[in-house]
Protein backbone atom coordinates (compact mmCIF):
# COMPACT_ATOMS: atom_id res chain seq x y z
CA UNK A 1 0.00 0.00 0.00
CA UNK A 2 1.58 3.31 -1.04
CA UNK A 3 0.67 6.96 -1.41
CA UNK A 4 -0.77 6.44 -4.91
CA UNK A 5 -3.44 4.18 -3.47
CA UNK A 6 -4.11 6.70 -0.70
CA UNK A 7 -4.48 9.56 -3.19
CA UNK A 8 -6.92 7.47 -5.23
CA UNK A 9 -8.94 6.87 -2.05
CA UNK A 10 -8.94 10.59 -1.31
CA UNK A 11 -10.09 11.34 -4.86
CA UNK A 12 -12.95 8.85 -4.48
CA UNK A 13 -13.85 10.52 -1.18
CA UNK A 14 -14.02 13.91 -2.91
CA UNK A 15 -16.21 12.68 -5.78
CA UNK A 16 -19.60 12.95 -4.02
CA UNK A 17 -18.66 16.44 -2.86
CA UNK A 18 -18.05 17.48 -6.46
CA UNK A 19 -21.34 15.99 -7.60
CA UNK A 20 -23.30 17.67 -4.79
CA UNK A 21 -21.48 21.00 -5.23
CA UNK A 22 -22.63 21.00 -8.86
CA UNK A 23 -19.54 22.98 -9.84
CA UNK A 24 -19.42 21.04 -13.09
CA UNK A 25 -22.56 22.69 -14.55
CA UNK A 26 -21.67 24.90 -17.50
CA UNK A 27 -23.45 27.76 -19.19
CA UNK A 28 -22.98 29.15 -22.68
CA UNK A 29 -23.72 32.59 -24.09
CA UNK A 30 -25.78 32.28 -27.28
CA UNK A 31 -27.18 34.52 -30.02
CA UNK A 32 -30.74 33.27 -29.52
CA UNK A 33 -33.49 35.53 -28.25
CA UNK A 34 -36.47 34.42 -26.21
CA UNK A 35 -38.72 34.07 -29.29
CA UNK A 36 -36.16 31.97 -31.20
CA UNK A 37 -35.98 29.47 -28.36
CA UNK A 38 -39.76 28.95 -28.26
CA UNK A 39 -39.55 27.72 -31.89
CA UNK A 40 -36.91 25.03 -31.23
CA UNK A 41 -37.64 21.41 -32.28
CA UNK A 42 -39.08 19.52 -29.31
CA UNK A 43 -38.65 15.89 -30.23
CA UNK A 44 -36.33 14.11 -32.63
CA UNK A 45 -33.98 11.22 -32.04
CA UNK A 46 -30.74 13.09 -31.62
CA UNK A 47 -31.51 16.51 -30.18
CA UNK A 48 -30.22 19.63 -31.96
CA UNK A 49 -27.09 21.40 -30.80
CA UNK A 50 -29.22 24.15 -29.19
CA UNK A 51 -30.66 21.67 -26.70
CA UNK A 52 -29.27 21.17 -23.18
CA UNK A 53 -28.65 17.45 -23.77
CA UNK A 54 -27.88 15.39 -26.87
CA UNK A 55 -30.63 12.81 -26.33
CA UNK A 56 -34.32 12.94 -25.52
CA UNK A 57 -34.73 13.28 -21.73
CA UNK A 58 -37.48 12.09 -19.34
CA UNK A 59 -39.24 15.29 -18.19
CA UNK A 60 -42.18 16.35 -16.02
CA UNK A 61 -44.65 19.19 -16.61
CA UNK A 62 -46.34 21.44 -14.04
CA UNK A 63 -49.14 18.91 -13.50
CA UNK A 64 -46.65 16.17 -12.72
CA UNK A 65 -47.23 14.47 -16.08
CA UNK A 66 -44.15 12.61 -17.34
CA UNK A 67 -43.05 12.79 -20.98
CA UNK A 68 -39.91 12.55 -23.14
CA UNK A 69 -38.52 15.33 -25.30
CA UNK A 70 -35.42 17.33 -26.12
CA UNK A 71 -34.76 19.53 -23.12
CA UNK A 72 -33.87 23.19 -23.44
CA UNK A 73 -32.83 25.19 -20.39
CA UNK A 74 -32.14 28.85 -21.13
CA UNK A 75 -32.14 32.02 -19.05
CA UNK A 76 -33.10 35.24 -20.81
CA UNK A 77 -33.89 38.89 -20.38
CA UNK A 78 -36.31 40.59 -22.78
CA UNK A 79 -34.45 41.94 -25.85
CA UNK A 80 -31.10 40.41 -24.88
CA UNK A 81 -29.43 37.22 -26.16
CA UNK A 82 -30.14 34.22 -23.91
CA UNK A 83 -27.76 31.95 -22.02
CA UNK A 84 -27.98 28.17 -22.32
CA UNK A 85 -27.52 25.96 -19.25
CA UNK A 86 -25.82 22.65 -20.09
CA UNK A 87 -27.96 20.38 -17.95
CA UNK A 88 -31.44 18.88 -18.08
CA UNK A 89 -31.58 19.09 -14.27
CA UNK A 90 -33.19 21.86 -12.34
CA UNK A 91 -30.54 24.31 -11.10
CA UNK A 92 -32.95 25.61 -8.43
CA UNK A 93 -32.50 23.38 -5.36
CA UNK A 94 -36.03 23.01 -4.16
CA UNK A 95 -35.42 20.32 -1.53
CA UNK A 96 -35.20 22.96 1.22
CA UNK A 97 -34.86 26.44 -0.21
CA UNK A 98 -34.28 28.20 -3.51
CA UNK A 99 -30.52 28.47 -3.90
CA UNK A 100 -28.31 30.07 -6.56
CA UNK A 101 -24.87 28.58 -7.19
CA UNK A 102 -22.09 29.74 -9.46
CA UNK A 103 -22.06 27.99 -12.84
CA UNK A 104 -19.04 28.14 -15.14
CA UNK A 105 -18.83 29.53 -18.66
CA UNK A 106 -18.14 26.59 -20.98
CA UNK A 107 -15.85 28.73 -23.15
CA UNK A 108 -14.00 30.54 -20.36
CA UNK A 109 -13.51 28.68 -17.07
CA UNK A 110 -12.49 31.90 -15.29
CA UNK A 111 -15.99 33.32 -15.84
CA UNK A 112 -18.67 32.31 -13.33
CA UNK A 113 -22.23 33.47 -12.87
CA UNK A 114 -25.20 32.88 -10.52
CA UNK A 115 -28.48 32.38 -12.40
CA UNK A 116 -30.92 32.07 -9.50
CA UNK A 117 -31.73 35.30 -7.66
CA UNK A 118 -33.89 35.98 -4.63
CA UNK A 119 -36.93 38.15 -4.05
CA UNK A 120 -36.67 40.35 -0.96
CA UNK A 121 -39.54 38.49 0.73
CA UNK A 122 -38.08 35.00 0.27
CA UNK A 123 -34.63 36.16 1.32
CA UNK A 124 -36.00 37.70 4.54
CA UNK A 125 -37.98 34.52 5.26
CA UNK A 126 -34.83 32.43 4.83
CA UNK A 127 -36.40 30.65 1.88
CA UNK A 128 -33.86 31.84 -0.69
CA UNK A 129 -30.12 32.44 -0.79
CA UNK A 130 -27.23 32.44 -3.25
CA UNK A 131 -23.47 31.97 -3.34
CA UNK A 132 -21.71 35.23 -2.41
CA UNK A 133 -21.63 37.74 -5.29
CA UNK A 134 -19.06 40.55 -5.34
CA UNK A 135 -20.33 42.66 -8.21
CA UNK A 136 -23.59 43.05 -10.17
CA UNK A 137 -22.17 41.14 -13.15
CA UNK A 138 -21.73 38.01 -10.96
CA UNK A 139 -25.55 37.70 -11.07
CA UNK A 140 -27.63 36.96 -14.16
CA UNK A 141 -30.12 39.47 -12.70
CA UNK A 142 -27.25 42.00 -12.72
CA UNK A 143 -28.22 42.97 -9.17
CA UNK A 144 -25.86 42.00 -6.31
CA UNK A 145 -27.06 43.34 -2.94
CA UNK A 146 -24.78 42.79 0.08
CA UNK A 147 -23.36 39.59 -1.41
CA UNK A 148 -26.70 38.09 -2.50
CA UNK A 149 -28.09 38.03 -6.06
CA UNK A 150 -31.50 39.72 -5.96
CA UNK A 151 -34.15 39.94 -8.68
CA UNK A 152 -34.67 43.26 -10.43
CA UNK A 153 -38.41 43.95 -10.74
CA UNK A 154 -37.89 46.32 -13.64
CA UNK A 155 -35.81 43.80 -15.61
CA UNK A 156 -37.09 40.29 -14.77
CA UNK A 157 -35.32 37.08 -15.81
CA UNK A 158 -37.09 34.44 -17.89
CA UNK A 159 -36.49 30.70 -17.91
CA UNK A 160 -37.11 28.62 -21.03
CA UNK A 161 -37.80 24.91 -20.69
CA UNK A 162 -39.54 22.14 -22.58
CA UNK A 163 -43.03 21.36 -21.35
CA UNK A 164 -46.15 19.46 -22.35
CA UNK A 165 -49.46 21.28 -22.50
CA UNK A 166 -52.69 19.62 -23.69
CA UNK A 167 -50.62 16.77 -25.18
CA UNK A 168 -48.57 19.27 -27.20
CA UNK A 169 -44.82 19.68 -26.66
CA UNK A 170 -43.70 23.29 -26.30
CA UNK A 171 -40.65 25.27 -25.32
CA UNK A 172 -41.90 28.08 -23.09
CA UNK A 173 -40.01 31.11 -21.83
CA UNK A 174 -41.74 32.46 -18.72
CA UNK A 175 -40.79 34.33 -15.53
CA UNK A 176 -37.86 32.73 -13.67
CA UNK A 177 -37.97 31.70 -9.99
CA UNK A 178 -38.52 34.48 -7.43
CA UNK A 179 -39.85 36.96 -10.02
CA UNK A 180 -43.09 38.85 -9.28
CA UNK A 181 -46.22 37.22 -10.74
CA UNK A 182 -50.01 37.44 -10.71
CA UNK A 183 -50.90 33.89 -11.70
CA UNK A 184 -49.40 30.43 -12.28
CA UNK A 185 -49.39 30.78 -16.09
CA UNK A 186 -46.75 33.50 -15.85
CA UNK A 187 -44.20 31.31 -14.06
CA UNK A 188 -41.69 29.24 -16.00
CA UNK A 189 -40.50 25.66 -15.51
CA UNK A 190 -42.62 23.86 -12.85
CA UNK A 191 -42.94 26.98 -10.65
CA UNK A 192 -46.29 28.45 -9.63
CA UNK A 193 -47.34 31.84 -8.28
CA UNK A 194 -47.23 31.76 -4.45
CA UNK A 195 -49.53 33.71 -2.11
CA UNK A 196 -46.71 36.27 -1.85
CA UNK A 197 -47.05 36.69 -5.67
CA UNK A 198 -43.64 35.19 -6.38
CA UNK A 199 -42.81 32.36 -8.82
CA UNK A 200 -41.64 29.43 -6.68
CA UNK A 201 -41.45 25.67 -6.82
CA UNK A 202 -43.62 24.52 -3.94
CA UNK A 203 -41.81 22.54 -1.27
CA UNK A 204 -44.74 20.39 -0.13
CA UNK A 205 -44.51 18.24 -3.25
CA UNK A 206 -40.95 17.29 -2.45
CA UNK A 207 -41.18 16.12 1.14
CA UNK A 208 -40.42 12.54 0.14
CA UNK A 209 -37.56 13.85 -1.96
CA UNK A 210 -36.21 15.55 1.19
CA UNK A 211 -36.06 12.28 3.09
CA UNK A 212 -34.38 10.62 0.16
CA UNK A 213 -31.74 13.40 -0.08
CA UNK A 214 -31.11 13.20 3.69
CA UNK A 215 -30.65 9.45 3.37
CA UNK A 216 -28.20 9.83 0.46
CA UNK A 217 -26.22 12.55 2.25
CA UNK A 218 -25.91 10.44 5.45
CA UNK A 219 -24.84 7.47 3.36
CA UNK A 220 -22.16 9.55 1.64
CA UNK A 221 -21.01 10.89 5.04
CA UNK A 222 -20.62 7.33 6.37
CA UNK A 223 -18.66 6.24 3.26
CA UNK A 224 -16.45 9.32 3.74
CA UNK A 225 -15.59 8.42 7.32
CA UNK A 226 -14.81 4.80 6.35
CA UNK A 227 -12.52 5.90 3.50
CA UNK A 228 -10.70 8.38 5.74
CA UNK A 229 -10.25 5.72 8.45
CA UNK A 230 -8.82 3.31 5.85
CA UNK A 231 -6.46 6.04 4.61
CA UNK A 232 -5.29 6.78 8.20
CA UNK A 233 -4.82 3.07 8.85
CA UNK A 234 -2.54 2.68 5.82
CA UNK A 235 -0.58 5.86 6.53
CA UNK A 236 0.11 4.55 10.07
CA UNK A 237 0.97 1.08 8.78
CA UNK A 238 3.35 2.65 6.25
CA UNK A 239 5.06 4.74 8.93
CA UNK A 240 5.29 1.72 11.17
CA UNK A 241 6.87 -0.38 8.39
CA UNK A 242 9.36 2.38 7.64
CA UNK A 243 10.40 2.50 11.31
CA UNK A 244 10.71 -1.29 11.36
CA UNK A 245 12.93 -1.29 8.29
CA UNK A 246 15.12 1.46 9.80
CA UNK A 247 15.50 -0.69 12.92
CA UNK A 248 16.57 -3.73 10.92
CA UNK A 249 19.25 -1.65 9.15
C1 LIG B 1 -32.98 47.17 -12.82
O2 LIG B 1 -33.10 47.17 -14.20
C3 LIG B 1 -33.23 48.45 -14.78
C4 LIG B 1 -33.53 48.25 -16.26
O5 LIG B 1 -32.58 47.44 -16.89
C6 LIG B 1 -31.96 49.24 -14.51
O7 LIG B 1 -32.04 50.52 -15.08
C8 LIG B 1 -31.75 49.36 -13.00
O9 LIG B 1 -30.53 49.97 -12.73
C10 LIG B 1 -31.78 47.98 -12.35
N11 LIG B 1 -31.83 48.15 -10.92
C12 LIG B 1 -31.04 47.49 -10.09
C13 LIG B 1 -31.24 47.76 -8.65
O14 LIG B 1 -30.18 46.71 -10.47
CA–centroid distance, residue 177 to ligand 1 (Å): 18
Burial 195-222 (b: 16+ CB within 10 A, else e): eeebbbbeeeeeeeeeeeeeeeeeeeee
Domain ranges of the chain: 24-203
| Integer CA distances (angstroms), 167 to 38, 60, 125, 161, 190, in order | 17, 12, 37, 16, 16
List the chain pLDDT tens, one digit each, 249 residues. 566 666 566 656 655 554 455 567 999 999 999 989 888 877 777 888 999 998 888 999 988 999 999 999 999 999 999 999 999 888 987 666 899 999 999 999 999 999 999 999 999 998 999 999 999 999 999 999 999 999 999 999 999 999 999 888 999 999 999 999 999 999 999 999 999 999 998 754 444 456 677 788 899 999 999 999 999 999 998 887 776 666 666
The per-residue pLDDT for range 190-241, each reduced to its tens digit, is 999 999 999 998 754 444 456 677 788 899 999 999 999 999 999 998 887 7
Which residue's C-alpha comes closest to atom 11 of ligand 1?
152
Model pTM score = 0.72
* Closest ligand 1 atom to Cα of 153: 1
- The DSSP secondary-structure symbol of 184 reads G
How do beta strands 98-100 and 128-130 pair?
A: parallel
CA–centroid distance, residue 154 to ligand 1 (Å): 6
132 Rama class: left (phi>0) / alpha (psi -120 to 50) / beta: beta
CA–centroid distance, residue 155 to ligand 1 (Å): 6
Which residue's C-alpha comes closest to atom 10 of ligand 1?
152
Q: Given this model, what pLDDT does residue 136 score?
A: 97
Amino acid sequence: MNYQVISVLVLIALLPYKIIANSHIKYEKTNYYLDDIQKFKKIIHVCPEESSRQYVAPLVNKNGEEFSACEYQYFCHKNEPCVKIHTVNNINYFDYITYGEYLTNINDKSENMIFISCSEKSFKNGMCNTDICEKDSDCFSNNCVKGVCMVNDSNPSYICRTTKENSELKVKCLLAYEEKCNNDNECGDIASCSKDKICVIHNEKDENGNDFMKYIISLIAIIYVIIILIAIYYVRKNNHNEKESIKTI
